[in-house]
Amino acid sequence: MLLLALAGKPNCGKSTFFKSLTLANVEIANYPFTTIDANKGVAYVRSPCPCKELGLDNCTSCVDGVRFIPVELLDVAGLVPDAHLGRGLGNQFLDNLREADGIIQVVDASGSTDAEGNPVDIGTRDPREDVAFLKYEFAMWMAGIVDKHLAKLVRQAQGKDQVLIDLLAGALAGLRINAIQIREAVDETGINLAKASPEDIEKMCEVLLYVSKPMILAANKADQAPEANLASLAELGAVPTIAAGELALKSAAQAKLLRYLPGDKTFAPIEGAKLSANQVKALTMIAENMKKLGSTGVQETLNKLVFDEIGMIVVYPVEDDGKCCNAKGVVLPDAFLMPKGSTPKDLAYKVHTDIGNGFLYAVDARTKMRIKDSTELKTGDVIRIVSTAK
Ligand SMILES: Nc1nc2c(ncn2[C@@H]2O[C@H](COP(=O)(O)OP(=O)(O)OP(=O)(O)O)[C@@H](O)[C@H]2O)c(=O)[nH]1
Ligand SMILES: [Mg+2]
pLDDT digits (tens, 9 = 90+) for 136-167: 999 999 999 999 999 999 999 999 999 999 99
**pLDDT value at residue 60:** 94
Nearest CA to ligand 1 atom 27: 30
**pLDDT value at residue 245:** 98
Q: Which residues contact 136 (CB under 8 A, 6 or more apart)?
A: none
Is 266 in contact with 215 (CB distance < 8 Å)?
Answer: no
Q: For residue 78, report the distance from its CA to the centre of ligand 2, in Å.
A: 7
Is 342 in contact with 312 (CB distance < 8 Å)?
Answer: no
pLDDT band at 347 (very low <50, low <70, confident <90, very high): very high
Q: For residue 235, report the distance from its CA to the centre of ligand 1, in Å.
A: 23
**pLDDT value at residue 81:** 87
The residue whose CB lies within 8 Å of the most ligand 1 atoms, and thus the one to mutate among 6, 9, 11, is 11
The full 3-state SS of 44-91, as one line of letters, equals EEEEECCCCCCCCCCCCCCECCEEEEEEEEEECCCCCCCHHHCCCCCC
Looking at the CA of 113, name the nearest ligand.
1
Of 344, 245, 263, the closest CA to residue 67 belongs to 263
Asked if residue 91 has pLDDT above 90, the reply is no
* 3-state SS class at 240: strand
Q: Residue 14 and residue 209: Cα distance in Å, rounded?
A: 21
Q: What is the helix, strand, coil percentage profile of the chain, to 5?
A: 40, 20, 40
pLDDT band at 83 (very low <50, low <70, confident <90, very high): confident
Looking at the CA of 34, name the nearest ligand.
1
pLDDT band at 68 (very low <50, low <70, confident <90, very high): very high
Q: Residue 365 and residue 297: Cα distance in Å, rounded?
A: 34
Instruction: Please measure the distance between the N-terminal and C-terminal CA atoms of the chain and give it in whole angstroms.
Output: 24
Is 182 in contact with 162 (CB distance < 8 Å)?
Answer: no
> Counting atoms of ligand 1 from 1, which one is nearest the CA of 220?
31
pLDDT band at 34 (very low <50, low <70, confident <90, very high): confident
Asked if residue 94 has pLDDT above 80, the reply is no
Nearest CA to ligand 1 atom 25: 10
Q: For residue 97, report the distance from its CA to the centre of ligand 2, in Å.
A: 15
**pLDDT value at residue 89:** 75
**pLDDT value at residue 87:** 79
**pLDDT value at residue 43:** 97
Asked if residue 118 has pLDDT above 80, the reply is yes
**pLDDT value at residue 32:** 87
Average pLDDT of the chain to the nearest whole number: 94
Q: For residue 223, report the distance from its CA to the centre of ligand 1, in Å.
A: 12
Q: For residue 219, report the distance from its CA to the centre of ligand 2, in Å.
A: 16
Of 315, 313, 333, the closest CA to residue 323 belongs to 333
Domain covering 3-127+215-304 in this structure, CATH number: 3.40.50.300
Is 226 in contact with 127 (CB distance < 8 Å)?
Answer: no
> Counting atoms of ligand 1 from 1, which one is nearest the CA of 296?
31
Ligand 1 contacts (CB < 6 A) are 10-16, 28-30, 32-35, 77-78, 117, 220-221, 223-224, 242-245
Q: Which residues contact 300 (CB under 8 A, 6 or more apart)?
A: 239, 241, 263, 294
**pLDDT value at residue 187:** 96
Buried b (16+ CB within 10 A) or exposed e, 340-369: eebbbbbbbbbbeeebbeebeebbbbeeee
Looking at the CA of 12, name the nearest ligand.
1
pLDDT band at 131 (very low <50, low <70, confident <90, very high): very high
Query: What separation in angstroms does the CA of 15 have from each of 80, 244, 354?
Result: 16, 10, 40
**pLDDT value at residue 287:** 97
Q: For residue 221, report the distance from its CA to the centre of ligand 1, in Å.
A: 8
Q: Residue 352 and residue 363: Cα distance in Å, rounded?
A: 17
149: left (phi over 0), alpha (psi -120 to 50) or beta: alpha
What percent of the chain shows pLDDT beyond 70?
99
Q: For residue 362, report the distance from its CA to the centre of ligand 1, in Å.
A: 48
Nearest CA to ligand 1 atom 1: 221
Q: For residue 17, report the distance from its CA to the centre of ligand 1, in Å.
A: 8
Domain residue spans in the chain? 3-127+215-304, 136-209, 313-387
Mean pLDDT calculated for residue range 349-375: 96
Q: Which class is domain 136-209?
A: mainly alpha
- Please write the tens of the pLDDT for every residue from 218-262: 999 999 999 999 999 999 999 999 999 999 999 999 999 999 999
Asked if residue 318 has pLDDT above 90, the reply is yes
Q: Residue 286 and residue 288: Cα distance in Å, rounded?
A: 5
Quick one: DSSP state of residue 294?
S
> Counting atoms of ligand 1 from 1, which one is nearest the CA of 32?
24
Of 12, 11, 8, the closest CA to residue 31 belongs to 11
**pLDDT value at residue 7:** 95
Domain covering 313-387 in this structure, CATH number: 3.10.20.30
